[in-house]
Amino acid sequence: MIALTDDKGRLLWASAARPGRTSEITACRHDQLTARLRAVGLGAIADLGFVGLDDGGPDADPAVITGYKAARNRPLTRGQKLSNKALAAVRAPVEHGFAHLKNWRTLTKLRTDPARATQLLRALLVLTNLEVSR
């Protein structure tokens, strides 16, 4: 699932649940999301799962801002580490929003049809927002 939050960490939207964990499906969903964000002129801050998926070209503004990944043969520079640190500070409220959703613990061992999982996820999204606003 992919979910969007506002800058305060309130969950706004959750995608439909999909079966499996294949990278081709995930990459396709990420590409569709970045295309939609770019079409409406919005941007997003994402985790390292989105690195490299928002290559709109050298002249395009990024729709998704991600951190930098280090490789074995290429460690991060000091500027990249500072950038990752600043990005982590901005992402902290977003991670709190996901933590509130995960507190229900219903999604940990969910074995059901994706359509039912989507309904459950959206219901938990509403309940989470009600609980957080109290």
pLDDT tens-digit map of 64-120: 788 888 889 999 999 999 999 999 998 888 888 888 877 877 777 777 777 788 888
- CA 65 to CA 44: how far, in whole Å? 6
Q: How far apart are CA 13 and CA 16, in angstroms?
A: 10
What's the CA gap between 4 and 50, in Å, rounded?
14
Would you list the domain boundaries of the chain?
3-133
- Reported for 62-67, long-range contacts at CB under 8 A and 24+ positions apart, including other chains, are 63/34, 63/35, 63/37, 63/38, 64/33, 64/34, 64/37
Residue with tokens 């580490």: 81
| pLDDT tens, residue by residue, 18-38 | 766 554 556 676 677 777 877
